[in-house]
Every structure is written in structure tokens, then in C-alpha cells.
């Protein structure tokens, strides 16, 4: 187990470095190649050349590429110092630079916003795993029944609806039509019920799409597994049906579900961005959208990196869970 | 039947079906049918899939004819009808978002543009991006998937790692990031066409691993088959084996994954336009209509419902059709 963990951690570290390189290329090399000047987007369109030059020097945009990459890495892991234009600023690790617009450090913005996105993602994941898998298993067990057909129609509708449309519909119906809940976001520290009330619709909206996908996959996997020989054996040796389904069939059904979960975590971030923008939640997604409107590059870079890191960590957790659930996965 | 997914080609030895036909002395009853033929016959029996397919066809026709249809109706997607707007609230006068004989789906709040015309023009963007980004993904995915599966070794490791990485990344975020750092003019394109071009490339780029993984897996198992070995022992070169032996057998899974990818791509395009990094106004796009509708979901719900339902119907039709195609091409299903 320890050796497996160490190997996975090492792989994750390599992946982290690759991600930082990719992000750096997207944001600093790509614009250069495409002829977009980052310094110009910092000072704005009607800037005088001297100000642009000062920014370029401060951000080290004129340096050779390897030096820029190094500074970028160093900033994240050890902190970096910006100098030029007459003043020097030290940015402590983890340094993601300063917002082009508010001139605040990016890192505190990220740590402020992260809990909102995390609570949105975790709550939704819990909902969709429970309801999606349950619906899929029930459908498979009662194949062809009214429940099965009904659930699969809802699931098909679910995967075909854009999140923001279901979000807007649910807001229009439950918040403004029926006045059941208040759509205004309240931080958890202020009031639990207020926070819960504000999060419940986003959770359901985000979970609905994935619950639909997971119900479809669970149903297909379960049907396939119920036809396997070992299920027949389990039944033949007189095991109770609940044991056959609950222990023997469920265990194999969960493996592809977990694989999917690991792959969907990245997509979940995308779903969170859309949900936050629909429900006006102050999370990372919202931060990125505002940053795009203001051409605030460092915020976009920061969010991209931090979410990639979150996905990396979550994948690690999924991998370990995988080994726990499926005994065929050897931890060597 | 566990034979390759298509009717065995002439090079791949005489088919079992043909031999059986000769043996039975009744060539007609057991005649070898091509994969397309078998799939089409199954698809014809699948009412839901057929409905989906017809809706998809209709959408394509409507999108192609959008300028003709709107001019026949005497509408223009960018023409303002401010006389139909309540000056106090900015919402359309009349019921159901200004629905009338002239404006079949009502008009937009504030400027009174015809929603039906904008929906038709929006369909062009959705389908264009949906199809072409799938084409990009299929080309990249097929080439790289075959390379990985066929050559193995470090090529396979490298391509597989890249695919895993791309699949695990927060794709939408990277797409947003990439689209937002793209210049506003490139290769002689300006305005919305740049955005459309960029979206096609970027969505396609993040879609190829889905195809690539499947193609790699298929190639890995196919290259060990007897008929490939037979071809090799007859002195066939790599290129011949790749194109004549492997590629025809990969068509079925590629078709299935492509039909399933198009609706996802349409949703991604709508999401990007919704978030404001897709096509630029005044070009009509469903996602962008929804994003302006967000301010009116109390006062003018029609404005939100129409593009939402348009996306829903389109994606649902593609999904139904895709499910049908998958079932029809599934070699495990009974014939």
C-alpha cells in the first residue's frame, strides 16, 4: 500500500509540473505567438508606451522564455519578487501574481472563493451518486417496468438539458414563483440555514445532469453484471437476493462508476462554473468569468491552476478508493 | 457473433456467411450483409432513434435555409421592433413575450428582435460548431489512437498519458481560458467568425481523447486477430494493414462515438456563448440568448424558455439518434 501510494504521489507531482507548464504556455506563450500583448491588457488600450514598458519589465515579459518559466515556478513554490518601474514588491509563496485590475494578490482571492466551489461540488456529487446510482440499480432490477422506463426518460432529458437552463427554470419556479427559498447566497459562517437554502437549488441543478448520466451507466453495468456466471452461482448456492445484489453485484457495478467519477471531476469544475454563473454564487467560476470580462489574466491563471490541482488530488483519492473497492486492483 | 464489426472484406478471407450460403444452397437467405445494411435495418425498427434522426435532419435543413425561411416570413434576426416593447418595463407588449402572427415565437425584450429568426440563425452556429468540432476530434482521435494502438511502446505510453491528462483536466475551464486569450482577428477572419473558428478547434482538441481511447483499444485487440496475421504473412506492409485491414473495422465505433459527441459539443458551444466567450453579439446564438434572458426570467419567461427548449430538443434528438446508432452497430446485440 505504501509503495503504491508513493508511486501515485510521484506521478501526481510530475502531473502537477506538467500542468504548470501547460498553463504557462496557454497564458504566456500562446498570446505571444498569436500576437496579443499581455502588458497591454494590463494597462488598458489607451496606455502610453512608457507604462506598457514598465509593466513588461515588472512582469519579466521581455526575459527569455526559460527565465519566465523559472520565475513562474519559483513564484508558486517559493515566492518571487517583482521589481521595475521604481518599486519592488515581494510576493510570498504560493505566489500567483497580482490581479491586473484590483492589484490584490491572487492567492487570497482563490482561498476566499475555493470553499464556495468546493461545497457546491461536494454537495452535488453526494446527491448525484446517491440518487443516480440508486435510480440506475432500481431500473436494472425492474427492467422494462414503468419505473425503469420513467427513470430512463427523465435521465435522457437530464443529459440533454443545459445546466444553466435547468438552473434558470428552477430559480423561476421555486425562488420567484413559489417563494420557497431565497436565492441570495449567504456564507456558511453567517447562517447555516441561509447557506443551505441558497445552495440547495445549485446542488440539485448540478447533480441532476450527472445523476442522469450515472443512472444510465449504472443501469447498463448492472444489467451486464446480472448476466454473469458468478451471480448465477451466488443465487444457486442459495444466497438471499439482497446479498446477491448488495454484495456481489454492487461491488462490480461500483468500479466503472468510480472510474467515471474520477474522469468527471474535471468536467464537474466546468459544471460548477456554469452553476455559479446562473445562481450568482461567489465561487471560483464566478471569479473566472469576472476575470475574463476584465481581461484579468492572473486570476484566470490562478483559478486554472488551483482547480487542476484540486482535480489531481481528487483523482488520487479516487484511485485509492478504487483499490479498496476492487480487490483485483493490486497495490504493488 | 464475435467476428469483426463489418462484413469481412475480400482480403480478409472468404466470409463464413458466404460459405454457409453456398452450403445451404440458398444464396439469398443467408447472404452476407454489409454492416451499414444491418445497422440500417435495425435502425429502421427503432422508432425513437428514427424520430431523433428525422429531427436532426430537419434541424440541418432549417439551419441551412435560415435566410430563406426568415425572408419568406418577412423577418430579419437583427431588425429592431421597438414599437412592440413596453417602454416602462422593457418587456414585449402582449401576452407570451409578444407572440403574434408576425413574430411566431415573440420578440426580445428592450430591442424587440424577432426570436424565431434568431433561433433559426442560432441553429446554424450550434450545428456548425457541433459538427465541425466533432470532425476535428475524430481526425485527431483516429490518427493518434491508431498510432498508439498499432505501434505500442513509447508512442503508446506517450499518447495514452496525454489522453489521460486531457480527460482529467477541467476542460471547460481550459476551453474558456484558451478562447479568452485568442486574438480578435486571425487568418483574415474577424468578429464572430474568429470565435466560431476558435471554438471548433478548441472543442475538437479537447474531444479527441474520447475517440482516441476507443480507437486505441480497438486497434490493440484487432492487430492480434488472425486476419491481420494472415495479411502480414502474405507480405502486406504496415500501411496496407493500417488502411485496408484495421481502418474498416474501426468505422463502427468511430461512428458511434461521433454521434454521441456532437450533442456534447453543441452543449459546450452553448455554454461558452452563455458565459460570454462564444460568438459575439449581434450574431445570434442559443447560449447567448439564454444568457441575456437571465435578467428577464421573472418579467418575460418566454425569452428564456424558447432558446432553452431549442437546445433541449436538438441535444435530445442527437442523443436519441446516437443511442439508436450505438444499438444498431453493436455486434453483441442479436441480429
Question: What string of DSSP letters covers B137-197?
Answer: HHHHHHHHHHHHHHH-HHHHHHHHHHHHHHHHS-HHHHHHHHHHHS-S-BTTB-HHHHHHH
User: Is A318 part of the contact surface with chain B (CB cutoff 8 Å)?
Assistant: no
| CB distance B171 to B271 below 8 Å | no
pLDDT of residue B30: 61
pLDDT of residue A1: 67
Which pLDDT band holds residue B22 (cuts at 50, 70, 90)? very low
Mean pLDDT value of segment B155-168 = 82
Strand A87-91 relative to strand A80-84, pairing: antiparallel
Residues of B in contact with A157 (CB under 8 A): 312, 316
Give the Cα separation of B310 and A302 in Å (integer): 35
A311/B170 Cβ within 8 A: yes
A26/B174 Cβ within 8 A: yes
Q: Which of A10, A1, A13, A19 is nearest to A306 (CA)?
A: A19
Which pLDDT band holds residue B134 (cuts at 50, 70, 90)? very high
Residues of B in contact with A18 (CB under 8 A): 165
Which residue of chain A is at minimal alpha-carbon distance from B315? A160
Residue B326 backbone phi and psi in degrees, to 5: -60, -50
pLDDT of residue A227: 81
Residues of B in contact with A160 (CB under 8 A): 263, 312, 315-316, 319
User: Is A34 part of the contact surface with chain B (CB cutoff 8 Å)?
Assistant: yes
Mean pLDDT value of segment A186-190 = 73
Could you give the residue ranges of the DSSP H alpha helices within chain A? Answer: 2-24, 30-34, 38-43, 49-58, 65-78, 106-141, 146-160, 163-170, 192-226, 229-236, 241-243, 250-279, 284-293, 297-325
A156/B172 Cβ within 8 A: no
Q: Which of A159, A150, A130, A127 is nearest to A254 (CA)?
A: A130
Give the minimum alpha-carbon distance from B51 to chain A in angstroms, rounded to a whole number: 15
B277/A164 Cβ within 8 A: no
Q: Which of A269, A162, A176 is nearest to A205 (CA)?
A: A162
Task: Report chain A's C-alpha Rg in angstroms.
Answer: 24
B311/A165 Cβ within 8 A: yes
Percent of chain A with pLDDT over 90: 0
The angle at the Cα of B279, spanning B274 to B282, to the nearest 5 degrees, equals: 100
Give the Cα separation of A53 and A84 in Å (integer): 10
| Cβ atoms < 10 Å from Cβ of A61 | 17
ipTM surpasses 0.95: no
| CB distance B306 to B300 below 8 Å | no
A266/B171 Cβ within 8 A: yes
* Three-class DSSP category at B311: helix
| CB distance B277 to B176 below 8 Å | yes
Q: How far is CA B326 from the centre of its chain?
A: 14
Mean pLDDT value of segment A260-268 = 77
Q: How far is CA B219 from the centre of its chain?
A: 23
Q: Which of B311, B200, B315 is nearest to B263 (CA)?
A: B315
Per-residue pLDDT tens over the stretch A43-53 = 565 566 666 66
**pLDDT of B16 strictly over 60:** no
**Under 8 Å CB-to-CB from B33, ≥6 apart: which residues?**
B7, B41
B183/A35 Cβ within 8 A: yes
Give the minimum alpha-carbon distance from B176 to chain A in angstroms, rounded to a whole number: 9
Distances (CA, A) of B119 to B23, B105, B271, B308: 59, 9, 16, 10
A13-22, A148-157, B42-51, B304-313, range with greatest mean pLDDT: B304-313
Give the Cα separation of B145 and B147 in Å (integer): 5
Best interface-test mutation with A: which of B170, B179, B213 has the largest number of A CBs within 10 A?
B170
Which pLDDT band holds residue A190 (cuts at 50, 70, 90)? confident
Mean pLDDT value of segment A202-225 = 86
- Whole-number average pLDDT of chain B: 78
Which residue of chain A is at minimal alpha-carbon distance from B165? A15
Q: Residues of B at the A interface (Cβ-Cβ below 8 Å)?
A: 165, 167-174, 176-178, 180-183, 186, 263, 267, 270-271, 274-277, 287, 290-291, 293-294, 297-298, 301, 304, 308, 311-312, 315-316, 319-320
User: Is A261 part of the contact surface with chain B (CB cutoff 8 Å)?
Assistant: no
Residues of A in contact with B51 (CB under 8 A): none
For B272, the enclosing helix (H) or strand (E) is helix B247-275
Question: And the C-alpha cell for B56?
Answer: 436532426
Residue A107 backbone phi and psi in degrees, to 5: -55, -50
Q: What is the DSSP string of A163-210?
A: HHHHHHHHIIIIIIIS--S--S---TTT-HHHHHHHHHHHHHHHHHHH
**pLDDT of B263 strictly over 80:** yes
Give the minimum alpha-carbon distance from A221 to chain B in angstroms, rounded to a whole number: 15
Mean pLDDT value of segment A163-192 = 77
Mean pLDDT value of segment B28-32 = 60
| CB distance A179 to A187 below 8 Å | no
pLDDT of residue B137: 93
| Cβ atoms < 10 Å from Cβ of B137 | 27
pLDDT of residue B133: 93
Q: Judging by beta carbons within 10 Å of its beta carbon (0-12, 13-18, 19+), is residue A303 exposed, middle or buried?
A: buried
For A82, the enclosing helix (H) or strand (E) is strand A80-84
Give the minimum alpha-carbon distance from A194 to chain B in angstroms, rounded to a whole number: 22
Mean pLDDT value of segment B238-251 = 82
pLDDT of residue B104: 67
Sign of the alpha-carbon dihedral angle for A162, A165, A166, A168: positive
pLDDT of residue A191: 74
| Cβ atoms < 10 Å from Cβ of A263 | 18
B307: DSSP letter: H
**Under 8 Å CB-to-CB from A297, ≥6 apart: which residues?**
A27, A38, A41, A42, A100, A291, B181
Per-residue pLDDT tens over the stretch A88-144 = 666 666 777 777 766 677 787 888 888 888 888 888 888 988 888 888 888 888 877
**pLDDT of A41 strictly over 70:** no
B173/A269 Cβ within 8 A: yes
Amino acid at each position: 500500500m505504501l509503495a503504491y501510494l508513493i508511486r501515485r504521489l510521484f506521478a501526481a507531482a510530475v502531473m502537477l509540473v506538467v500542468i504548470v507548464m501547460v498553463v504557462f504556455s496557454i497564458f504566456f506563450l500562446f498570446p505571444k505567438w498569436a500576437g496579443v500583448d499581455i502588458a497591454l491588457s494590463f494597462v488598458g488600450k489607451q496606455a502610453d508606451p512608457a507604462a506598457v514598458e514598465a509593466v513588461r519589465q515588472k512582469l519579466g515579459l521581455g526575459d527569455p522564455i526559460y527565465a519566465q518559466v523559472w520565475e513562474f515556478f519559483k513564484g508558486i513554490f517559493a515566492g518571487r519578487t517583482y521589481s521595475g518601474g521604481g518599486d519592488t514588491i515581494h510576493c510570498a509563496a504560493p505566489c500567483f501574481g497580482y490581479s491586473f485590475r484590483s492589484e490584490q494578490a491572487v492567492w487570497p482571492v482563490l482561498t476566499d472563493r475555493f470553499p464556495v466551489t468546493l461545497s457546491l461540488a461536494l454537495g452535488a456529487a453526494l446527491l448525484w451518486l446517491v440518487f443516480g446510482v440508486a435510480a440506475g440499480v432500481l431500473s436494472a432490477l425492474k427492467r422494462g417496468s414503468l419505473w425503469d422506463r420513467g427513470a430512463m426518460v427523465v435521465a435522457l432529458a437530464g443529459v440533454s438539458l443545459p445546466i444553466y437552463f435547468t438552473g434558470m427554470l428552477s430559480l423561476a419556479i421555486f425562488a420567484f414563483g413559489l417563494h420557497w427559498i431565497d436565492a441570495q447566497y449567504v456564507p456558511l459562517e453567517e447562517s447555516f440555514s441561509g447557506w443551505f437554502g441558497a445552495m440547495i437549488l445549485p446542488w440539485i441543478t448540478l447533480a441532476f445532469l450527472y445523476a442522469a448520466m450515472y443512472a444510465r451507466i449504472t443501469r447498463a453495468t448492472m444489467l451486464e453484471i446480472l448476466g454473469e456466471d458468478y451471480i448465477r452461482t451466488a443465487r444457486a448456492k442459495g444466497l438471499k437476493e439482497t446479498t446477491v445484489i448488495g454484495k456481489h453485484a454492487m461491488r462490480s457495478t461500483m468500479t466503472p462508476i468510480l472510474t467515471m467519477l474520477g474522469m468527471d471531476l474535471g468536467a464537474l469544475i466546468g459544471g460548477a462554473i456554469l452553476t455559479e454563473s446562473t445562481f450568482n454564487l461567489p465561487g471560483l467560476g464566478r471569479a473566472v468569468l469576472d476575470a475574463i470580462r476584465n481581461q484579468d489574466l492572473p486570476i484566470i491563471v490562478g483559478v486554472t491552476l488551483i482547480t487542476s490541482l484540486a482535480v489531481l488530488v481528487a483523482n488520487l483519492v479516487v484511485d485509492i478508493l478504487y483499490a479498496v473497492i476492487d480487490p483485483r486492483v493490486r497495490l504493488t | 457473433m464475435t467476428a469483426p464489426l463489418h462484413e469481412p472484406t475480400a482480403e480478409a478471407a472468404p466470409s463464413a456467411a458466404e460459405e454457409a450460403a453456398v452450403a445451404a444452397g440458398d444464396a439469398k437467405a443467408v447472404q452476407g450483409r454489409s454492416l451499414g445494411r444491418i445497422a440500417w435495418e435495425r435502425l429502421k425498427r427503432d422508432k425513437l432513434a428514427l424520430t431523433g434522426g428525422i429531427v436532426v435532419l430537419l434541424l440541418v435543413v432549417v439551419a441551412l435555409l435560415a435566410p430563406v425561411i426568415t425572408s419568406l416570413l418577412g423577418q430579419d434576426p437583427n431588425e429592431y421592433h421597438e414599437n412592440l416593447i413596453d417602454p416602462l418595463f422593457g418587456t414585449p407588449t402582449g401576452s407570451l413575450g409578444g407572440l403574434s402572427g408576425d413574430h411566431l415565437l415573440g420578440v426580445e425584450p428592450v430591442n424587440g428582435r424577432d426570436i424565431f429568426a434568431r433561433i433559426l440563425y442560432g441553429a446554424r452556429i450550434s450545428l456548425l460548431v457541433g459538427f465541425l468540432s466533432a470532425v476535428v476530434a475524430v481526425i485527431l482521435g483516429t490518427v493518434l489512437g491508431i498510432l498508439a494502438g498499432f505501434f505500442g511502446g513509447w508512442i503508446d505510453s506517450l499518447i495514452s498519458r496525454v489522453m489521460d491528462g486531457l480527460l482529467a483536466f477541467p476542460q471547460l475551464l481550459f476551453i474558456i481560458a484558451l478562447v479568452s486569450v485568442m486574438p480578435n482577428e486571425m487568418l483574415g477572419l474577424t468578429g464572430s467568425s474568429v470565435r466560431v473558428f476558435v471554438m471548433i478547434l478548441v472543442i475538437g482538441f479537447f474531444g479527441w481523447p474520447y475517440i482516441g481511447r476507443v480507437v486505441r483499444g480497438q486497434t490493440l485487440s484487432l492487430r492480434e486477430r488472425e486476419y491481420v496475421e494472415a495479411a502480414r504473412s502474405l507480405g502486406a506492409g504496415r500501411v496496407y494493414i493500417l488502411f485496408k485491414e484495421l481502418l474498416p473495422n474501426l468505422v463502427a465505433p468511430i461512428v458511434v462515438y461521433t454521434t454521441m459527441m456532437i450533442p456534447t459539443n453543441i452543449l459546450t458551444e452553448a455554454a461558452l456563448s452563455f458565459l460570454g466567450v462564444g460568438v459575439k453579439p449581434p450574431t445570434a446564438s442559443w447560449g447567448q440568448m439564454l444568457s441575456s434572458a437571465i435578467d428577464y426570467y421573472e418579467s418575460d419567461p418566454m425569452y428564456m424558455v424558447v432558446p432553452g427548449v431549442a437546445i433541449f430538443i436538438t441535444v435530445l434528438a442527437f442523443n436519441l439518434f446516437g443511442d439508436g446508432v450505438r444499438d444498431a452497430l453493436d455486434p453483441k446485440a442479436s441480429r
